[in-house]
Structure 1
Amino acid sequence: MAIDTAAAKQQVLDAADALFYERGVQAVGMDAIRTASGVSLKRLYQLFPSKDVLIEAYLDRRNILWETMLNEHVEAKTDPRDRILAVFDFLYDWSQQRDYRGCAFINAFGELGSVSPRVAELALQHKEGFRQALIGLAKAAGAEDPDRLADHLILLSEGAITRSAISGGSDPALRAREAASLILDASLRH
């Protein structure tokens, strides 16, 4: 029995997400995605005409996942300062996931950013979206220079993401939260 288009797409994206995130986008071929998804190669190419299109769909999906997880942590807090620190709580929780390999966008950019303008563009959009979210949180907290505060916070965040992936532990997210707290103390004085 043939599965409908939406279900087949979901199966392919589930398989691609797991394999790309675990192994990297270049190391995984369409045959591996076919095998993992259970969708025939012909059907897979009907749904995603090229691996590049599938990589874009994977990154789009990861962006939605990232924003959802981040927003859940931030929205759980009411105090503006605590909402900023919730970003680092999110990073801590995320880095404790069994399959954590850091940022899919940094990983994909590292593999393809110099040869795929679209991957580079998606990575930049994702990082700029995160920066804009931090600017919004900094403004809500009454920062004198929200852009500068957001730039400081994003550097801490990106460092924690990468360091946690490399070290295989969550301590970098804790240290980044401590540093963010110190920066907030200095930036939010009135």
Structure 2
Amino acid sequence: MGTPESAVQAAHGGRGARARILRAAAELFYTRGIHATGVAALMKAAHVSPRTFYVHFPTKNALVEEYLRRFETDTPLAAETALERGDLSPAQRLLALFDPMEGDSSALYRGCPFHNAVVEGAGEFPEVAQLAQLHKQAFRDRLVTTATEAGAANPETLGRQLAVIFEGAHALAASCNDTQVFTDARQAAKVLLDAALPTAR
């Protein structure tokens, strides 16, 4: 355990300020929304002063961009990690993307943070929109690659179609706060996979 002095330092700025700001952003941007979360709320949650905040992030937009970039490096989106599972075959990984969501079913479901950031930005944040486009394209590319590994006759088409079902399911689940939509999405994905992949998988 740290000393009382180090605990006070952590609570009021000190070391790890950047990490605390990013943790606060991850929590507040996702649960409350980007526009609804002001810089004052971020500073309060991260226990940093205005000076410390702006040393690390000159603008709120800079923080939004870093918040999204971390999903590419440190904290991959849980909904997409099925594609990396080594215990499943390629076909099983594609279907596992649509497995029921784990966790508290009563918790607010906010959907994809990239999608949310673009919608909230409404064209005002081109850098954020570009980050989202790159992420979505990379995800589609991974679907196509996995479909190729699974033996699909037309992996490009299958990958794009699965992306539509996946993205649509997450958007609908967020709009209605109802993760039961993934049950229907999984059934639709299975129909596609059964039609597109060899019978012996």
TM-score, with length taken from structure 1: 0.89
Q: 1:93 to 1:76 in 2, by over 3 A?
A: farther
Q: Give the SS at the match of 1:169.
A: coil
Which runs of structure 2 are paired with 1:114-133 in the superposition (5 Å)?
A: 114-133=123-142
- 1:173 lines up with 2:182 in the alignment: yes
Q: Give the SS at the match of 1:92.
A: coil
Contact kept, 8 Å, 1:113 with 1:120, in 2: the verdict is: no
Deviation at 1:68, TM superposition (A): 6.0
Contact kept, 8 Å, 1:74 with 1:84, in 2: the verdict is: no
- 1:161 lines up with 2:170 in the alignment: yes
- 1:54 lines up with 2:63 in the alignment: yes
Deviations 1:137-177 (A, max 9, x none): 10110111111101100000011101111222221111111
In structure 2, stretches of 5+ residues that fail to align are 1-8
- 1:137 lines up with 2:151 in the alignment: no
Match of 1:3 in 2: 14
Match of 1:83 in 2: 93
Contact kept, 8 Å, 1:95 with 1:170, in 2: the verdict is: no
Determine the C-alpha separation between the residues in 2 that align with 1:135 and 1:3: 46
Contact kept, 8 Å, 1:92 with 1:174, in 2: the verdict is: no
Runs of 4+ in 1 over 6 A off after TM superposition: none
Determine the C-alpha separation between the residues in 1 that align with 2:76 and 2:108: 15
In structure 1, stretches of 5+ residues that fail to align are none
* Count of residue pairs brought into register by the alignment: 187
Q: Give the SS at the match of 2:157.
A: helix
| Higher percent of residues as helix | 1
Q: Give the SS at the match of 1:93.
A: coil
Determine the C-alpha separation between the residues in 2 that align with 1:98 and 1:81: 30
**Percent of matched pairs sharing the same residue:** 36
Determine the C-alpha separation between the residues in 2 that align with 1:96 and 1:125: 30
- Larger deviation: 66-75 or 120-129? 66-75
- Please identify the structure whose Cα radius of gyration is greater: 2
Q: 1:81 to 1:96 in 2, by over 3 A?
A: farther
